[in-house]
Amino acid sequence: MSRRISPVIPGFGLTLGYTVVYLSLIVLIPLAAMFIHAAQLTWDQFWTIITAPRVLAALKLSFSTAFYAAVINGVIGVLLAWVLVRYTFPGRKIIDAMIDLPFALPTAVAGIALTALYAPNGLVGQFATDLGFKIAYTPLGITLALTFVTLPFVVRTVQPVLADIPREVEEAAACLGARPLQVFRHILVPALLPAWLTGFALAFARGVGEYGSVIFIAGNMPMKTEILPLLIMVKLDQYDYTGATAIGVMMLVVSFILLLLINLLQRRIETPS
């Protein structure tokens, strides 16, 4: 008679209960409290707050720069993952470890370092000023800061998937007459796209909510370089808790809708028709 092996982790009911309780305490209850606080406003008051020109300008800046940074990392991140997986060279492990530096560095330290580099008197910023344009205190500087902070998300999501693709599949396709572009399009892209979308979504979400590394290089000028997280802090400094909550709810809803669309696109790609 075979002996039944008891699972290391408790049964489904208990683990599901722990999961729901934990998520409720850490995620759902704080978010629900924010929505409840925002519910003190009438719809007209809420709409007036979130459609104010300053709020809309900060919304456009935050989401556009986060999107551009995610796109840049979507390209550079795949190239970095490719080099780290497919090639062996001196210093490879050092470069691989450097990818995670934006995770390890405090965001304020990253902001100070980027400002020192891109400010008008910085190494790169001074060169850019001589050419007639500015990097720091512009949307370009914000995009570069978000690109630095969100780089690991794409690399670390694509890297393991790329490592799991057998080289023999590509070699077999080449032996059957497939050109490199065809191998890339028909073998690598379908395998990497779901992971790439995940990394893109994570990078975008982190960029939208980033605060510490951006405020140093943004200049924080209303209607020009003021991001939404900073505007929320301004509202809190003015003791306008209801206004800050309304902006936070709007930011959460817009981010959730965009991430949901990316997730649905990812599922559609993963599910063969």
Q: Which domains does the chain have, with CATH numbers?
A: 7-39 (no CATH), 42-270 (1.10.3720.10)
What's the pTM?
A: 0.85
Q: How far apart are CA 207 and CA 214, in angstroms?
A: 10
Residue 195 in contact with residue 157, Cβ under 8 Å? yes
The 10 Å Cβ neighbour count of residue 47 is 13
One pLDDT digit (tens) per residue for the chain, 273 residues:
455 555 556 666 677 788 888 888 888 888 888 888 888 889 999 999 999 999 999 999 999 999 999 999 999 999 999 999 888 889 889 999 999 888 888 888 888 888 888 988 888 888 888 888 888 889 999 999 999 999 999 999 999 988 888 777 777 777 777 777 777 777 888 888 888 988 999 899 899 989 888 988 888 888 999 999 999 999 999 999 889 999 999 988 988 888 888 888 877 776 655
The pair of three-digit structure tokens given for residue 104, joined into one six-digit string:
């390890």
